[in-house]
Amino acid sequence: MAKKSAKAPAVEGPRRIPPRIAVLAVGVALGAVWGSVMWMIFEVAGRETGARGWAYLALTTAMIGGGVAAIFGANAARRRGERISPRSPYRRRK
């Protein structure tokens, strides 16, 4: 009789978004929402900036939100023991 393999073949499941990308997307989305809220507050207060003002606030706060999410995601990954920095093709000499 032939020996059975100890490991079963891996079953390919549906593709999932990597956690780091998901955290980054949530940060960008929250930043864009917050920028939209700030724009609405400014519009109600009398500062009429229109679509250009909304785009400016939404995009800049979305970029800030993405940056903050990237920092928090990298810190969480480091605590889990994942490698953060890119791998260098050359070895360091000691």
> How does pLDDT run across 11-46, given as a tens digit for each residue?
666 777 777 788 889 999 999 999 999 999 989 998
- Give CA–CA dist 74/53, Å, rounded: 32
pTM of the predicted structure, to 2 decimals: 0.65
pLDDT at 72: 84
Question: Is residue 73 one of the residues assigned to a domain?
Answer: yes
pLDDT at 55: 93
| Per-residue pLDDT reduced to its tens digit, 45-74 | 988 888 899 999 999 999 999 999 888 887
Residue 83: exposure state from Cβ atoms within 10 A (0-12, 13-18, ≥19): exposed
Q: How many domains is the chain partitioned into structurally? A: 1
Whose CA is closest to 84, among 24, 75, 63, 92? 75
Domain carrying residue 25: 19-80
Whose CA is closest to 42, among 56, 28, 63? 56
Question: Is residue 57 one of the residues assigned to a domain?
Answer: yes
Q: Tokens 């890119």 map to which residue?
A: 86
